[in-house]
Structures are given as structure tokens and as C-alpha cells.
């Protein structure tokens, strides 16, 4: 199958980093606009990321007793770093930074790195509430990871490839969300889960004074917040590539279609915050393993049968 998505020049690696950072800042503005509790005028909401960044850089840093500073620093930078690494295989329009033959595996492997990153962000400060937040994320990860893996497998089976550009090319006639809507929903929910966002924000819950964020201050807190937004942005763009036809669309250029579709998915993910209850990991695990996982496997079986019969792509 001829791929529509072409590998971008090598210098695009340097462009991808500031692009992800800018997208994370814009996601912060969109989150402020969609915040149902907000009473500020629209202009103040749009500039909230600038205000938050300025305050984080100027505020006095919090200190704890006998922290593990190295592991703390590693945990703080991991979410943002993982988002940048994930973005290397996510197409923008019909161009991708790295056309890996196993791009889907790369994306999933980067997601698993978050297990260590979030836990280290909780372990490093040597604080009880922060550490509880880290363990809460691990419990949450046990719930969402298997459904996420099988949700990723469905488009790979339909396209007979682990390459993200090949998966985009396989959707020329029909977007995969039509064939596998459950996998698309599960993947989008997993994006919110590995970003510790919305109903999956138990690791940063207020009942433990902010959990993973309680001891984070100054640039460290800013990096973790940007990491959350960057993960949501990259996860939304990956949802578009896997299930919404990538940059396919009429009239507009492919890169603009990718941005518009990604913004729509991102808006849905951001809107979940403050509008849905936060799920405890034990309840989430019961739902994920007893209900969602069997349904995703059934979805995968149907996709496999269609692919074997020649109707998968």
C-alpha cells in the first residue's frame, strides 16, 4: 500500500520540540476557556498560561526533608519528554518526523515510560501525599494499559501494519472510527488516563492535597503542567491519525485538517475536567478489566475477521 504520509527532513526534529511546547501552551488557554468555574473575561482566560508561567518562575520553591533530587528531576521532566518523543511518529498532515516501521510500538513504549516518570515525580520529594499520588497512578495504569494496547492493535490489524503512515493510508476510503468506534473511544480515554486528567486525575486529587503536584513548585510544577497538556495534545493528534483519517479532508490542506481534527478531540478531553467525577483506581480497574477489556477484545476479533476477509481496509 502506497503511503500518503512522507518523512519530513531531518531538521524537522528541531521544529517538533517548540511545536509541542506551543501546542501545550495553547491547550492551557483552551482549558481556561472551557473551565466551567471560570468567572474571568475571555481575554484573561486566554492569557492564563502566561500568568501561570510567570507566577511559577517567580514563586519561592518548596523544599522537603531529604528529597531524592535526581529522581525528582527525572520524574518532573518525563511527561513532557515523553510527549515530545511520542510526537516523532505522529503525522502532521501528510508529513511525519520519523516514519518508523513500528511507530505504533514506539508510541506505546513511550506511554509505558510514563509509569516510571509519574511514580518518580511522587517518590522524589520524600513526601507522603506525593508518594500516594505516584502509587495511585500505577494502580490507574494497571487499569488502562491493557485496554489501550488492544485499542492500538485494532487499527494495526486493519491496516496490516505497525507504521502510523500506513495506518493513515489505509483510511482513504473509510475512517477507522466507523469500523472500530469502541477502540477509538478507549484510546482517547487512555490518553486522558496517562495524562492524569479529568476523570483520571485521582493521582493529583485534592483529597491528598494535590498528590503528585503537592510538593511541586516553581519551574518543576510548570513542567509537569506543560507535560500534562503536551500529552493531551499529542494523544489527540494520534487519535486523528489512527481513527479519523489523519490529514484527509476536502478543500483545506492536510496539515490544517490534522490541526482542526486534533483541536476538536483535544477540546473534548479538556472539557471532561470539572465536568466528570474522578474515578478511584479500584473502581476504574473493575470497569476496565471486567467490561472494557472484553469489549475491546470483541472489537479486535471483528476487525481481524474483516481484515482476513479482505474488508478491513
Q: What pLDDT, in 10s, does the model give residues 76-105? A: 999 999 999 999 999 988 888 888 889 999
Q: What is the pLDDT of residue 3?
A: 61
CA dihedral 249, 32, 81, 149 (to 10 degrees): -60
Q: What pLDDT, in 10s, does the model give residues 214-270? A: 888 888 989 999 999 999 999 999 999 999 998 888 889 999 999 999 999 999 999
Cell of 283: 473502581
For residue 66, pLDDT beyond 90: no
Given a contact cutoff of 8 angstroms between Cβ atoms, the answer to whether 92 and 6 are in contact is no
Given a contact cutoff of 8 angstroms between Cβ atoms, the answer to whether 103 and 237 are in contact is no
- 3-class DSSP state of 7: strand
Burial of 32 (0-12, 13-18, 19+ CB in 10 A): buried
Question: 12 falls in which pLDDT band (50, 70, 90)?
Answer: confident
Cell of 278: 474522578
Percent of the chain at pLDDT > 70 equals 97
DSSP code at position 96: E
Q: What is the pLDDT of residue 121?
A: 93
Q: How far apart are CA 22 and CA 26, in angstroms?
A: 6
> Could you report how far apart the first and last alpha carbons of the chain are, in Å?
10
Q: What is the pLDDT of residue 313?
A: 47
Single out the residue of 78, 33, 27, 82 nearest to residue 197, CA to CA: 27
pTM of the model: 0.92
User: How crowded is residue 275: how many other Cβ atoms within 10 Å of its Cβ?
Assistant: 12
The DSSP line for 186-224 is: HHHHHHHHHTT-GGG-GGG-GGGTTGGGTT--HHHHHHH
Amino acid at each position: 500500500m502506497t503511503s500518503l504520509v512522507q518523512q519530513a527532513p531531518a531538521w524537522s526534529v528541531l521544529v517538533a520540540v517548540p511545536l509541542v511546547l506551543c501546542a501545550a501552551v495553547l491547550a492551557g488557554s483552551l482549558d481556561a476557556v472551557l473551565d466551567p468555574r471560570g468567572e474571568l473575561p475571555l481575554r484573561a482566560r486566554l492569557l492564563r498560561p502566561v500568568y501561570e508561567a510567570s507566577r511559577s518562575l517567580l514563586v519561592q520553591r518548596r523544599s522537603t526533608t531529604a528529597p531524592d533530587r535526581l529522581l525528582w528531576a527525572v520524574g518532573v521532566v518525563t511527561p513532557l519528554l515523553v510527549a515530545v518523543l511520542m510526537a516523532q511518529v505522529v503525522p502532521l498532515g501528510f508529513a511525519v518526523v520519523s516514519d518508523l516501521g513500528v511507530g505504533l510500538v514506539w508510541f506505546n513504549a513511550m506511554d509505558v515510560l510514563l509509569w516510571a516518570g509519574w511514580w518518580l515525580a511522587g517518590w522524589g520529594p520524600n513526601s507522603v501525599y506525593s508518594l500516594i499520588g505516584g502509587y495511585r497512578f500505577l494502580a490507574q495504569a494497571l487499569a488502562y494499559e491493557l485496554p489501550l494496547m488492544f485499542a492500538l492493535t485494532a487499527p494495526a490489524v486493519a491496516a496490516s501494519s505497525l507504521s502510523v503512515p500506513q495506518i493513515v493510508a489505509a483510511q482513504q476510503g473509510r475512517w477507522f472510527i466507523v469500523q472500530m468506534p469502541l477502540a477509538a473511544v478507549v484510546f482517547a480515554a487512555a490518553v486522558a488516563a496517562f495524562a492524569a486528567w479529568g476523570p483520571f486525575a485521582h493521582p493529583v486529587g485534592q483529597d491528598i492535597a494535590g498528590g503528585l503536584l503537592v510538593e511541586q513548585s516553581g519551574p518543576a510544577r510548570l513542567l509537569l503542567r506543560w507535560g500534562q497538556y503536551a500529552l493531551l495534545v499529542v494523544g489527540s493528534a494520534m487519535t486523528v491519525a489512527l481513527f479519523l483519517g489523519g490529514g484527509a479532508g476536502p478543500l483545506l490542506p492536510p496539515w490544517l485538517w490534522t490541526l482542526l481534527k486534533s483541536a476538536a478531540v483535544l477540546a473534548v478531553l479538556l472539557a471532561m475536567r470539572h465536568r466528570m467525577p474522578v474515578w478511584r483506581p479500584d473502581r476504574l480497574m473493575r470497569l476496565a478489566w471486567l467490561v472494557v477489556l472484553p469489549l475491546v477484545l470483541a472489537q479486535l476479533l471483528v476487525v481481524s475477521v474483516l481484515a482476513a476477509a479482505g474488508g478491513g481496509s
